Amino acid sequence: MDALELIRVRGLEVAVRVWHPRATRSVIAWHGLARHGGDFADFARQLGPGWRVLAPDTPGRGLSSWSLYPAHEYLYAHYMKVAVAVLDHFGLESVPWVGTSMGGLLGMLLAAEPETAPRIERLVLNDVGPELDPDGLTQLALYFGMPHRFCTLGQLETELRRHYAGFGIEGDEAWHRLALNSARRLPDGSWTYHFDPRIGEQFIHDTPRDTWADWAAIRCPLMVIRGADSPLLRADSVTRMAEVQPSLVALEVPGCGHAPMLDRPAQVKPVARFLTRGRWRFHLVKPHPEMPLWQRSWRWLHQLMRR
């Protein structure tokens, strides 16, 4: 990352990793359940210096605070408050959102709620949608609902290679880097993952909602990426998503399960095209003919700048 911002949100410190901090365009990149914003390093570099990539660590992960009240704060409702605080901190009235797994669902909820929908300019869902395979969800809940301890860093990496095989990661260097970014040393010298073991309580305490109704309510441009071997997002679910949202842009990534890392051109370039598609097509509201010339000119300029 090129910079780090620390934001206070209701007693928690939220770390936001930033790439290309001086870029004129911004995009939020939000990670999955047990990951952190560092996963978007390759995505940011390939997206290019024209984009400021803001990748928060959700509370309980990475560099952000762990909650003292997991049953109340490791929930989507609280993550939505964190997301709004991040947008406010960076002065973002409306911004594209790229979300992997949990981060995609978070973006979907923000885009569906009337109060927050204007904040999401367009939405990319990475291997997630309004319908997820129940068996895949059960496996996630079981895996992250228990503590993990490894005697050596090598053992932790071996487990990462097994559990995250679906990421489509290639090469020893990439796996070493993932291990370094995923590890936390315990007081006895052993190793575990970087996240709070209690994040899995989300599966117990979070309130179910009609996510298909949320999906139907979204009005911003939408894109979904699916790993061809995903155990969570089925191909028929993507088909139904397109029936509800006919303008949906869909990309299937071969050789990936849950979830593509967005770390190579074949995955990033389609996202880059979607992020810029139609950005310069806009409709100007015609000013009233009795409006003074200076005011008409100012309104036209204001509308242009908002685009």
pLDDT in tens, 54-67: 999 999 999 999 99
pLDDT at 290 over 50: no
As a whole number of angstroms, the distance between CA 135 and CA 82 comes to: 29
Report residue 105 as tokens.
């669902």
As a whole number of angstroms, the distance between CA 230 and CA 263 comes to: 17
Q: How many CB atoms lie within 10 A of CB 244?
A: 14
Mean pLDDT of the region 191-214: 92
pLDDT category at 144 given cuts 50, 70, 90 is confident
Mean pLDDT of the region 231-253: 97
Which residue segments constitute the domains of the chain, with CATH numbers given?
3-134+206-276 (3.40.50.1820)
Mean pLDDT of the region 15-43: 97
pLDDT category at 233 given cuts 50, 70, 90 is very high
Mean pLDDT of the region 22-32: 98
Supply the pLDDT for residue 48. Answer: 97
Mean pLDDT of the region 283-290: 41
pLDDT at 272 over 50: yes
pLDDT at 288 over 70: no
Report residue 25 as tokens.
């365009």
pLDDT at 94 over 80: yes
Q: What is the pTM of this model?
A: 0.88
Mean pLDDT of the region 207-228: 96
Q: Please, are residues 57 and 36 in contact by the beta-carbon 8 Å criterion?
A: yes
Supply the pLDDT for residue 22. Answer: 97
- Measured in residues, the chain has a length of 307
pLDDT at 291 over 50: no
The average confidence (pLDDT) of the chain is 91
